[in-house]
Amino acid sequence: MSTGVNPFQMAQQQFDEVADQLQLSDNIRKILRWPLREFHFQIPVQMDDGTMQVFRGYRVQHNDARGPAKGGIRFHPAETVDTVRALATWMTWKCAVADIPLGGGKGGVILDPSSLSDSEKQRVCRGWVDQMWRNIGPRLDVPAPDVGTTAQMMGWMMDEYSKLIGQYTPGVITGKPLGGGGSKGRTEATGFGVIVTVREALKRLGIDPKTCTAALHGFGNVSQYAAQNFINMLGGKVVAVSCWDWHEKTAYTFSANEGLDPEFLKSITDQYGTIDKEKAKKAGIKIEDGNAWLKKDVDILIPAAIEGVITKETAPMISSKVKVLAEGANGPCTPDADAYFKKTNIYVIPDFLCNSGGVICSYFEGVQNDMNYYWELEEVVRNLDKKMTSAFASVHDMSIDRKVYTRNAAYMVAIDRVVRAMQLRGWI
């Protein structure tokens, strides 16, 4: 599943371009180009067969000028420290562009979660907390689920932390299960937010969403809810979904010109986002190679899986019909791909704006944990829509005012807010 792209170099390159445009001082650049702190550690785990395995774990805290670090924990066999660094950096910008009082963090463990039993996964989760509990907490660093991790895993991690410090502390982790300190709406928040930004982009472009088709990359949590909301909220049609097959270690595209039913696809998808090919075939769904989603004649492309999938080589495969590219994943498009989009005038909704619905709802979850009072779904959705709409407007307006690419505009909004917080705290 590795793309051969170094995501941290990509994150730094994106930052450097905007830092030049903003004429940031060398001192500010030195602080923001690299994480403030990193943790590298081993997690020894007794497996079900009695053997011992040692997994490599990470936590990176990029910047906490605006508040506690915030970011998910990935379980992935191709995890690298540079991936974690990049994601932590993007989380800083994501929290800032969403204007929530949190900083950027990210964690990871190098493992294939599909190869572990539930009891083994629980021991890995508790082992991760055993290594990190002194350096996480509601006022320090608040992890959450990401690729390869689930709400249940967050529940285990919260429980381990609570045991270690001797008091029930739901606010140490977000993305927890409902009934275990979780928030209504959190599971679907990222995919919902993606479609809010698509809605706002189509408004600015004067395009009726009911006439639009979409193709998505990935069929995990983000893509599933993005597909559902693209149909239910906007009245559009999803014609293709590409996903990674964990069993065959390759990707496939599932397509239907008349439109796919995301609810049906969810019913035949495992917890790691792999769609059952045989059941899809029986339902009349066409199965194509993994890159076929990218070449579809659709109006909207939504890469919602991993980083670095749209590159200088793959960007020219995109149909000339595509009007909007919404980055549901973190870092799915390389700087070379950005150069292509600038030439073709595809409206790109940058990742740390587009997929910020998850961290906004995680912030809401932390607020509810602090209050010990939990909101109804309608209140969560209303507040999330309001935050996403406001964040989109700030980036779009910056893009128009400064006559810059949308990704650069998002960086400008975010960097300005982080630098301002650093100034107010006397860091610079």
Can you give the residue ranges of every domain in the chain? 38-182, 187-354
Structure tokens at 49: 């067969």
d(CA 402, CA 24): 16
Confidence of residue 1 (pLDDT cuts 50, 70, 90): very low
Cα atoms found within 13 Å of the Cα of residue 85, Cβ hemisphere only: 18
Residue 358: both structure tokens together:
């998850």
What band does 3 get if pLDDT is binned at 50, 70 and 90? low
DSSP letters for 190-259: HHHHHHHHHHHHHHHHT--GGG-EEEEE--SHHHHHHHHHHHHTT--EEEEEEEEETTTTEEEEEE-TT-
Summarised one tens digit per residue, pLDDT across range 372-423 is: 999 999 999 999 999 999 999 999 999 999 999 999 999 999 999 999 999 9
Task: Name the band, by pLDDT with cuts 50, 70 and 90, for residue 195.
Answer: very high
Instruction: Give, for 46, the enclosing helix (H) or strand (E).
Output: strand 37-46
Measure Cα distances from 107 to 39, 104, 358 in Å: 9, 11, 16
Supply the Cα-derived Rg of the chain in whole angstroms: 20
pLDDT above 70: percentage of residues in the chain: 99
Give this prediction's pTM: 0.90
The pLDDT of residue 248 is 81
Q: Which CATH architecture has domain 187-354?
A: 3-Layer(aba) Sandwich (3.40)
Given a cut of 50, whether residue 2 has pLDDT beyond it is no
Q: Cα separations (Å) of 88 from 34, 232, 351, 391?
A: 10, 32, 13, 20
Topology of domain 38-182, CATH? Rossmann fold (3.40.50)
Cβ neighbours of residue 65 closer than 8 Å, sequence gap 6 or more: 103, 418, 421, 422, 425, 427
What amino acid occupies position 35?
A: P
Active centre residues (catalytic): 106
Tokens of 392: 């989109």
> Are the C-beta atoms of residues 270 and 245 closer than 8 Å to each other?
no
Kindly give the pairing relationship between strand 37-46 and strand 52-63: antiparallel
- CA–CA gap between residue 44 and residue 128 (Å, rounded): 9
Average pLDDT over residues 12-33: 94
State how far the Cα of 221 lies from the Cα of 190, in Å rounded to an integer.
8
Same topology between domain 38-182 and domain 187-354: yes
- pLDDT band for position 5 (cuts 50, 70, 90): confident
pLDDT in tens, 222-264: 999 999 999 999 999 999 999 888 788 889 899 999 999 999 9
Name the phi and psi angles at 256, rounded to 5.
Answer: -155, 120
Mean pLDDT is lowest, of 57-61, 99-103, 341-345, 375-379, for 341-345
CA 374 to chain centre: 24
Average predicted confidence (pLDDT) for the chain: 94
Over residues 14-36, mean pLDDT = 94
CA 165 to chain centroid: 29
Reported as a pLDDT band with limits 50, 70 and 90, residue 278 is confident
Mean pLDDT within 190-210: 97
Alpha helices by DSSP H, 78-117: 81-97
Measured distance CA(164)–CA(422) in Å, rounded: 32
**In this structure, what DSSP letter does residue 90 have?**
H
- Alpha-carbon distance of 91 to 70, in angstroms, equals 7
Q: Which residues contact 354 (CB under 8 A, 6 or more apart)?
A: 193, 194, 197, 326, 327, 328
| 391 neighbors 354 (Cβ within 8 angstroms) | no
Buried b (16+ CB within 10 A) or exposed e, 187-204: bbbbbbbbbbbbbbbbee
Q: Which amino acid is at 346?
A: I
Is 421:101 a contact under the CB 8 Å cutoff?
no
Q: Which two tokens stand for residue 398?
A: 């910056």
Structure tokens at 91: 């989380």
pLDDT for 259-270, tens place per residue? 999 999 999 888
Question: Sign of dihedral through CA atoms 228, 274, 7, 95?
Answer: positive
